[in-house]
Amino acid sequence: MLIAAGCRGGTAKVSGVVSLDGNPIEGATVSFTPASGDGNGVGGSYGKTDAAGRYSLRTVSSDNPGAAVGKHKVTISLSRGDPNNPEGDAKEVIPARYNTKSELTFDVPAGGTDKANFELKK
């Protein structure tokens, strides 16, 4: 019974690398939102990229490693302020087609993956 339940959903570890025009992006937020709505009760997942552009996902609801198994809409965003105007509004560095108007999707396999890579272009 446990095996059958695991095949229907659950979570799997997901990690990868994000780059923009061939360069790793540090400090970007990577969000996975299940296409099925609630992701079999797991909900969405998020991660933050390091200096090498690497990230690992954690579930939003329980802060556990991984993401719901299945298809996801993916958004990647990074806001930066103007160093010459520290009190000004931060601006989105990543093109809208990867965040507010995201065209990105990813299918999380039951066995997980360390190859959820996204090579973005300006």
Average pLDDT, the chain: 88
Tens of pLDDT, residue by residue over 64-86, are: 999 999 999 999 999 987 767 76
The label of the residue with tokens 């025009």 reads 21
Tens of pLDDT, residue by residue over 29-70, are: 999 999 977 566 788 999 999 999 999 999 998 999 999 999
Cα(94)–Cα(77) distance, integer angstroms:
6
Q: Which residues contact 52 (CB under 8 A, 6 or more apart)?
A: 17, 24, 26
In the CATH scheme, what is the homologous superfamily, with its name and number, of domain 2-120?
Answer: Immunoglobulins (2.60.40.10)
Q: Return the amino acid letter for 56.
A: S
Tally the C-alpha atoms within 13 A of residue 113's C-alpha that lie toward its C-beta: 14
The pair of three-digit structure tokens given for residue 73, joined into one six-digit string: 């809409």
Domain boundaries, the chain: 2-120
Instruction: Say what the pLDDT of residue 95 is.
Output: 96
- pTM (2 decimals)? 0.86
For residues 93 and 89, which has the higher predicted lDDT (pLDDT)? 93
